[in-house]
């Protein structure tokens, strides 16, 4: 199991955010705004695709009877 790292630990992975202070105006202008916009450009299309697949799956499953799929009928054991 991985042990949690302290907040001040340095990470070698450039994808990890080691320092995040969006309320600090100088940090926001120098680093934070660029990271936030990069994350938005990645996450918005990903969320759009996810919700589109989720919505289509819901529509398709409801309409399966109209597409030729038959629901199983309960068998009578009399």
In a domain, 32, yes or no: yes
In a domain, 52, yes or no: yes
Domain carrying residue 44: 25-63
In a domain, 16, yes or no: no
Query: Mind giving me the DSSP string for 23-54?
Result: T-HHHIIIIIHHHHHHHHHHHHHHHHHHHHHH
Give me the average pLDDT of each 10-residue run along the chain (78 residues).
Answer: 53 74 91 90 94 92 82 67
pLDDT (0 to 100) of residue 56: 93
Query: Mind giving me the DSSP string for 48-74?
Result: HHHHHHHHHHHHHHHTTTTTT--PPPP
In a domain, 72, yes or no: no
Residue-wise over 24-39: b if at least 16 C-beta within 10 A, else e? Answer: eeeeeeebbeeeeeee
In a domain, 46, yes or no: yes
In a domain, 15, yes or no: no
pTM more than 0.85: no
């Amino acid at each position: 199991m991985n042990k949690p790292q302290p907040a001040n630990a340095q990470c070698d992975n450039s994808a990890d955010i080691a320092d995040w202070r969006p309320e600090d105006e100088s940090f926001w202008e120098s680093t934070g705004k660029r990271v936030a916009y990069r994350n938005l450009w990645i996450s918005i299309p990903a969320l759009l695709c996810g919700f589109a697949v989720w919505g289509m799956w819901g529509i398709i499953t409801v309409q399966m009877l109209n597409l030729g799929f038959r629901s199983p009928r309960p068998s009578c054991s009399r």
